[in-house]
Each structure stands twice: as C-alpha cells, then as structure tokens.
Structure 1
C-alpha cells in the first residue's frame, strides 16, 4: 500500500498525522504562485503512482486530482483543516465551480472539528466524513495560571480578516476607556499588523516560550469569524486559562458538549467581546477555579498520543473500506 502525504508546510499536528501513516511526503506549495508552479511541473514530472493521496487542506487538491487522473485507482483522502468549505459559498462563481470540480475527485474526508464536518456535509456525503480533532502542540509544562488577573491573551497569525483579533483590541479599548485596567498580550504574527499602540497592549510577536505568558494571563480570547480548531485554545486550556471563543471556532462544540456554553459568543463584535470578558472576570474565584480545572481536564482528552492514535485508527478504517483489503494481520496495520 503506497501512501503519499501532500502538504503545504505542514502544520505540526498534520505532520504528526502524516508521519503516522507514511514516510512519502510531497510539498505542493504554500501560496497561490508556488502551488500553480508545482502543479504545472507535475503535469510532466512526478509520475510515480500511489494507492492513496492524503492531502493537507483543499489547496492540495489540484495535485491530488492530477495524480488521480494519471491513475484512476488512486484514492484521495482530504484533511479538512482549512477554510475550503467555508470559502466555497463566499467565492466567485467560476472559482466555486472549480472547487466543486476538485472536490469530485475526493473519496473521503477527515475533518478536524464537528463544525468543519457540518460545513463539508453541505457539499459532500456526510457518511464519508470522519472527525479527528487536533492536539495542543505547546503543552509540555506544569502551569496553574493565575485566575484573578486582568491579563488577556490571544495567539494567532497575521490573518486579521478571519481571526478578527482587531476586534479584540477594540473590545479591550472599550473596557479600559471605561476605567478598567485590562492588559492584552498578542503572540504570533498577529502583533505585526496591529498599528495601534497603547500602554495596555503588549505586542509580543513570535516567541519560543509562550508558556511564560500562559503563566501570567487568566483569560484567552479567540474572536474568529471562522477557525476550524485552533490548537492555541487547547494549549491555553492546558495551562488552566479560561477560554472565550466564538461559535465559529472549532472548540465551540467541545465546550458545549461539556456544559461550558457560557464561554461561547454568538458574534465577535467588540461590544460583545467586551461584555463577555467582564462577565467572566466578575465571576467568583472559586467558580473560576472550577472552570479552569474543567478546561484542563478537557485539554487532556486531546493529547498528541490520543489524537494520533485516533487518526491512525480512522485512517486505517477508511483505507480498508476504500480498498476492500484487510490491511492488518492481527499485530498492526501494514503500511509500506
């Protein structure tokens, strides 16, 4: 069984998934120009055939479809960890047709959240979509964050158009203009695109030690328009921070399942974010400790070991179903 993992980086979680099933990897590009260039080169080159193509995100589908056109027996499994299905309805008609055409080559989907599965099921057979959540990458610490501070944290890249951390900055400004003294820490390239400067706004940027800030902040806010299942939420929960997320963040379903609906916002307007921050901040310390412990327990359910094991199990089941071949001999699965 020859399996190829095609990727755009990859994300550390997706790399762990890929490593668990094959050592055959192919970089298809990480932006439009490099993806097109790789696709054009692959029309003539890269004729090696594979039984299964595992694609990290929808951007890999042009390469995956091309390989399937060269070998009709090839099966394509899509790791739905991006905004592919979120964007279908928002893009122009021509691009929408192209996305649906590429999707017609896909045999199975593994989504990284129930939210992503719901979106994908609008365009793909729901019975052929599985869910495997990611895991927190930076969780190798023993932290009990302080729960009585006014320190708020956000972690993310520079994509302000969907992460909407600018709304969080505005929310904290609303609160501090009213006399509060909240401190907002921005980790990641998100800090590079915020032009405002305030005494309470700390633009940390990239850091190899995010746990330093995990041990100083009490609340983590993820105000995204759409985010499939950001690992930063699991990571901060592992430190005991209380998360506040939008209903369009992948962990919203997990919080809801665990009776933590009150940590979910219906929208990401600055006024809504500000109100939710005050609501959580004003809770008694004992209540915060109880919620913090519950968040820690939830994060432990999504460890790297558990999620990679779950991914392998589901991937193996999909392969058995697609190929109608027994891939194990009672001792384990025989990937080659």
Structure 2
C-alpha cells in the first residue's frame, strides 16, 4: 500500500446522495451533484447516478469529457462560466452551462450552430457574495438579448452564495431570486425550468423554509461527499461525515524540545510562527505536506495535534504515547483538504 492515500467510501457517498435527494424532494427541490472534487471520476459519477442523480455538474470541461468518454449519458452542467477559448468544447461536452456575459453566450450560440446543437444556459444573478452573477437591475436587458439568439435555450436562473465572502441564503435574497424568476416569465412569456438556489450552503435554508418559493434546484458537492455544510451552519441530520479519509505514514518519531533554538527568521513559506516553550514533546513526522493537501483542512484523530507543516512533512504531537515509524494515521477532511488531496498526483486514490 502506498501513502499518502485518500479513500472514498462509495456506499456512504451513495447514502448521502439518496438522503439529500429524499429530503430536498419533499421541499420541491432537485439535486445536481457536483463532481469536481473527484475530477469527474467515472466510479463516483456512476455511484451518484445509481443513487438517484439525474444530472451531474462540474466546473471543468475536462472532467465532464472524462465522464462522457466513460459512458455517462445523464445531462451535464458546467458550473463555471465558459472560457471563450473553450467554447466549442463546452457545446460538445456540456448540455447546460452557467453564464453571465452576453459575449460568451453569443459565442456559444455560434458554436452550437456549427455543431448542429441546442445549448442550454442558466443565467447567474449576483445576490451579494460578489462571485459570478449579473446585477439584478441588468438581468432583464441581458435576457432580452439572450432570447434572440439561435441555438440557445434559457433554462433558468441561479445564484451562488457562501463561497467568496460567506454571504448566506436567507428569506430576503431567496425571495429576490424567486421574484426575478416571476418577472422574467411575465416579461417574456416564457417558463423557467430551473431556479437554482446555490450550493451546499443553501440546504439548511431550503429545509427550514416555510411557504412558497420558486427555488427548485441546488448544486451539491460538500454535503454529498463530506456530509457537511459550510462552517457555522448546523450539521445536516442523517448524513455520514466519514465517507472521505486521508491516511499518511509516520517517517520519524522522537521526543524533541517544543521550542527551537538559534536565531529565527521567517520559515520556508514566509511565515513567522509564534511559539511557547512547552518542554519536551512526543513529536512524529508524517510523509504528508502542503504539496499534497491543504493542511488547515485536516482533522486529526482524538488526542493528536497538528503543530506545523512544510512542503513534504507534517509534524504532529501525541501527549499520551509516541507513534511508531511505519505506523499510519487517518485524518478527516474538510472540503478544501478533500479538493486539494484529490487534485494532487502524489496522493493515491482508493474507491471502495
């Protein structure tokens, strides 16, 4: 067995997917799983489909193409605004894309015509988090231009929250999105199929909201794979938070002083670390570093503390007992650690 390795428990991922679909269906909301953290791996794609997913989403065209080439036939949604340099590939491999720029949508129209296809789009609306999105006051003018384009179908509107500044969904911004959908339909005498209310950070709002709403779609990654929603929100009931684990091997273990000696400057990453002298400690070094994973997103086992890291080494302390060289340590992960470990070519991926 090679380390470090990240293990994905497909049974738990399937369970999380099923439960989320069941809970959100009761609120009139469909779930589109996001596969970007797994790089569009066909095993995960088929796990999600078998669990009930009828559409898959990803931020990278390469990942969507990977799923297509593996035989995935459900509709695919590109959740990052298309790059002009990839327009042809977007039209060929993606059924739907999120958009904000008329210049891009015009190119999608042209490419769809050349490929004899109809490309569907969802217009993203800015509701405060200041990532992608058309300002609400400009939405009608944009859609007026969009509906004139051949080979383009306006599938719906959506928004993104909780990502850049942590702006949360609430009754105010979700009602605005619903009102905008109604206004568009009235103005242009059309029906919007999808009103996408965000990502995993929107789940608890949807589940708690009482009354009518036009929100009928969420794009979910973190909740499916980690059973979690963004920090400071309540845990989602009934989901497994242990579907993804990361294991690393101990390469050194000894008692060492907790306080360095010699003249100190910044470390290899330009950081100045504030320390207290805690005497002798049980320190172990694991073959895992910042080149492999986002260290801040690791959750060590009970009784172990992560004290520092560099490119290739992770230093941990275990007050009760020393670890042995060759011993392995398994960590939980948050979404940033999961994403980075899956992207690293130095971390083995195991699907079970």
Tell me the TM-score normalised to structure 1 length: 0.32
The structure that is strand-richer by fraction is 2
